A and B are shown apart, each in its own frame.
Chain A
């Protein structure tokens, strides 16, 4: 066996490197292509909805393949806005989801503050009791809740949509996980300086746990925006309908209006998707920093 010269070794090295680089590139492009295909599959219902929303009604009702509109139009959006008071639905949903979000952030952070920073009798028991509420599915109490609020004459109002959702066990849990890593010395020195608890919460604690609030806000808003069963039961008039109920009313009308129904769906999906995309990072960090520190 003859020994290799230096040139030969260098040559071998270079070809090996080139091969490795080529293989890595191949792997990356294979990964990229697989991702494109899978993402297309996952997004297909949404892409299809957007395409139908811009499609003239006549085009949809043809037997030929029609993935994309040949003559894109905005009439569906205009008709959807005329046929149902879509702006009113959107406004209602913004009011309801917005107030639920703000309310949950306040009530949950107050409760979590008490559980994290203060000592009192029955603390553990109360905390367990609140956490145990996660076991009760909303659907299991919905009949009694409906009977209660209708007995109070609360049906068809904003408060019936908002008040039952003004707190959540998950929110209390999430905030408490965040407060666990909050430096207790900061709380103690604030107390020594004569700061009241309530002032500490709003001036120090909340501003320093913005990421928890962000995660909570995104999660709560999207869930409230997408609520279906409760608003279906407790709202009756056009004026009080939220987006999900309002749009599903377009569902039952004639087949000709399918394109405008989908245009309506696209309009009401946009806010929740935008908020999700903007707040995604915060949401994920919030979801998992809580779980990891647990």
Chain B
């Protein structure tokens, strides 16, 4: 009797000691299988040449990385991605900021307008890309009709990257609107009243009061935007397939193409590791 009750209490103790971990099992299991394991496998693959099925066949050390940094195509891909990210971040933050400033003071209809400004965050990149495709169509697209031009926008290397970036900037502007709205709401209203009594115009108020007031959220927003822009894929796949030439061959698209068209999984894995290092540095910058 005594013996069995001590056994039960021992089982109970073991259970209460392991219980906290049990709640973590679902999350840790998923992360282990679909994040940690593939992460290390990607690093592993990046040191190998693979066969068409993606099996590591020949150890080449940092050979894949060396090849990448010597290939003009990959350097171009990094350069294109950099230009793309700069344009996307500028556009999305500008749109978000304008929307947030316009909705800072309450007025009739504000709820409609703030929903409109946040709305792009609910739109899929692929759906948006298909709409843009029609808008930019050389003969029937609204853009050419409005501007009285006859340009094949997406087939022209001068415009393609900028246009994909504008689309991405539009898509990302919704969440920026929310960040900036929250940032503006935290600025004390009375400093504006005092400033206008002192005779400061709207531009000076914006430069000297609004921007500094936004600075805590500004930095965070920039980093989040850069990370998000780096990960763009659907719009490139649908609008340009990396072209014309390699004009829109962003790094994620380049990974996709190397792995699933050229079957160079080792090289694609090395590109993935480089992407990860870039994103990690950006994330660490945030803290």
Please, which residue of chain A has its CB at the minimum distance from the CB of B185? A288
Minimum CB–CB distance for A120 against chain B, Å: 4
Residues facing A in B116-166 (CB within 8 A) are: 116-135, 137, 139-140, 142, 145
The answer, among A35, A65, A111, A272, for a CB contact under 8 Å with B122, is: A272
Q: Does A213 contact B (CB under 8 A)?
A: no
B102/A31 in contact, CB under 8 A:
yes
Q: Does A166 contact B (CB under 8 A)?
A: yes
A144/B27 in contact, CB under 8 A:
no
The answer, among B125, B142, B227, B283, for a CB contact under 8 Å with A67, is: B142
Which B residues have a C-beta under 8 Å from some C-beta of A?
A: 17, 19-21, 23-24, 26-28, 30-31, 33-39, 41-42, 45, 53-54, 95, 98-99, 102-103, 105, 107-109, 112-113, 115-135, 137, 139-140, 142, 145, 170, 173, 178, 182, 227, 230-231, 233-234, 237-238, 252, 255-256, 259-260, 265, 268-269, 272-273, 275-276, 279-280, 283-284
Can you list 15 residue pairs at the A/B interface with Cβ under 8 Å? A38-B117, A46-B119, A106-B26, A126-B24, A126-B28, A135-B276, A139-B275, A140-B276, A143-B259, A143-B269, A164-B30, A169-B31, A229-B234, A248-B238, A269-B127
Residues of chain B within 8 A (CB-CB) of A158 are none
Please, which residue of chain B has its CB at the minimum distance from the CB of A219? B121
Residues of chain B within 8 A (CB-CB) of A164 are 30, 33-34
Contact with B along A118-142 (1 / 0, CB 8 A): 1110010010001001111111111
Residues of chain A within 8 A (CB-CB) of B95 are 42
Residues of chain B within 8 A (CB-CB) of A211 are none
A272/B124 in contact, CB under 8 A:
yes
A113/B23 in contact, CB under 8 A:
yes
The 8 closest A-B pairs by CB, nearest first: A144-B38, A226-B124, A276-B122, A114-B23, A120-B20, A228-B234, A107-B26, A118-B20
The answer, among B30, B142, B173, for a CB contact under 8 Å with A167, is: B30
The count of residues in chain A whose C-beta lies closer than 8 Å to any C-beta of chain B is 85
B231/A48 in contact, CB under 8 A:
no
Residues of chain A within 8 A (CB-CB) of B112 are 39
A65 to B231: give the CA distance in the assembly, Å: 36
Total A-B pairs in contact (CB under 8 Å)?
246
Residues of chain A within 8 A (CB-CB) of B36 are 133
The answer, among B19, B98, B121, B130, for a CB contact under 8 Å with A38, is: B98
A67 to B135: give the CA distance in the assembly, Å: 11
A159 to B210: give the CA distance in the assembly, Å: 48
A233/B260 in contact, CB under 8 A:
yes
Given contact pairs A35-B113, A136-B39, A276-B122, A268 touches B127 in the complex (Cβ within 8 A): yes
Residues of chain A within 8 A (CB-CB) of B26 are 106-107, 110-111, 166-167
Q: Does A99 contact B (CB under 8 A)?
A: no
The answer, among B105, B237, B238, B283, for a CB contact under 8 Å with A31, is: B105
Residues of chain B within 8 A (CB-CB) of A4 are none
Minimum CB–CB distance for A154 against chain B, Å: 11
A107/B27 in contact, CB under 8 A:
yes
Contact with B along A83-127 (1 / 0, CB 8 A): 000000000000000000000001110110110001110010010
Given contact pairs A35-B103, A140-B42, A143-B255, A118 touches B27 in the complex (Cβ within 8 A): no
The listed residue with most B CB atoms (<10 A of its CB), out of A49, A65, A108, A130, is A49
Residues of chain B within 8 A (CB-CB) of A49 are 131, 134
Q: Does A147 contact B (CB under 8 A)?
A: yes
Please, which residue of chain A has its CB at the minimum distance from the CB of B277? A140
B131/A147 in contact, CB under 8 A:
no
Residues of chain B within 8 A (CB-CB) of A32 are 107-109
Residues of chain A within 8 A (CB-CB) of B272 are 139-143
A130 to B21: give the CA distance in the assembly, Å: 13
Please, which residue of chain B has its CB at the minimum distance from the CB of A147? B54
A145 to B280: give the CA distance in the assembly, Å: 20
Given contact pairs A60-B140, A114-B23, A226-B124, A144 touches B30 in the complex (Cβ within 8 A): no
Minimum CB–CB distance for B220 against chain A, Å: 9
A262 to B135: give the CA distance in the assembly, Å: 11
Contact with B along A232-266 (1 / 0, CB 8 A): 11000000000011011001000000100110010
Given contact pairs A136-B276, A144-B38, A262 touches B130 in the complex (Cβ within 8 A): yes
Given contact pairs A130-B27, A167-B31, A42 touches B116 in the complex (Cβ within 8 A): yes
A111/B27 in contact, CB under 8 A:
yes
Contact with B along A203-244 (1 / 0, CB 8 A): 000000000000000000010011011001100000000001
Residues of chain B within 8 A (CB-CB) of A247 are 126-127, 130
Minimum CB–CB distance for A38 against chain B, Å: 6
